[in-house]
Amino acid sequence: PLAQNRDCSADAPAMIAFTSGTTGPPKGLVRSHGLMAATHDILSSVLGLRPGEVCLATLPIFTLINLGCGATTLIPDVDLRHPAKIDPERLLQQLARWRVESAVAAPRLIDRLVDASGPDDPRLRSLRTIHVGGAPVFPSLLESLRRVAPAVDAHVI
């Protein structure tokens, strides 16, 4: 049988997420049901996801947000642990193949895509929105993104 919803307190553990380890050993962080619900409420309104939309998710929390909004998640076949080392051509092919409409990613990953793209790159034409964050986002990155994907609505989160 399918799992059934059960009542629980807001402070009950919902998941354990691990830090990236960029500043030391990765650490497990317990996220409560209350935190997960609040995160979903805030991020789903900020991201503006639509049911059936195809989204590139680079962090597990965004995959969960997508599920809660009825969006489809593309978990790309690249090593997301090292955005600076991803194969941008491989990722661009996946974005085009699955007609990804929105993305949430670190600036370095977006920088890699921009560097591998040409002006008004057809592999990015399905994208309507990109949310960039998790590290400093410089104006030059947003300017370069507009050059390769002029129709994209870019947001810094």
User: Model pTM?
Assistant: 0.82
From start to end of the chain, where are the E strands? Answer: 13-18, 28-32, 54-57, 72-74, 102-105, 129-132, 153-156
- Regarding predicted confidence, which is higher, 125 or 61? 125
Closest among 101, 106, 115 to 73, alpha carbons compared: 101
What is d(CA 135, CA 119) in angstroms, rounded to the nearest whole number? 25
Percent residues over pLDDT 70 in the chain: 96
Q: Is the pLDDT of residue 1 over 70?
A: no
- Residue 113 clears pLDDT 90, i.e. is over it: yes
